[in-house]
Amino acid sequence: MTTKTITIREDVYRMLLSIKGTKESFSNFFERMVISRRNLDKLKELRGFVEVKDKDALLKELSEKREEIRY
């Protein structure tokens, strides 16, 4: 695997270090950030393509599913 060296300011490094997982490598951290950004961009692209007839029912169902996943 090829590696690359990047240069960042010390203050930026400290900010990244504070949000990176303690057992997570910087490569894994950056990968997670990129993937999460792609997902966010994809959701933004899809915005407006779905018609929600009962927003409250949808939010309730999403909330219930989140609770199921957490436990």
**Does residue 14 surpass a pLDDT of 80?**
yes
Q: Alpha carbon of 63 to those of 16, 56, 60, 68, 70: distances in Å?
A: 30, 11, 5, 9, 11
Predicted structure pTM score: 0.53
The pLDDT tens digits of the residues spanning 31-71 come to 988 888 888 888 777 777 777 788 888 889 888 888 877 65
- Where do the structural domains in the chain lie, given as residue ranges? 10-70
CA end-to-end span of the chain? 38
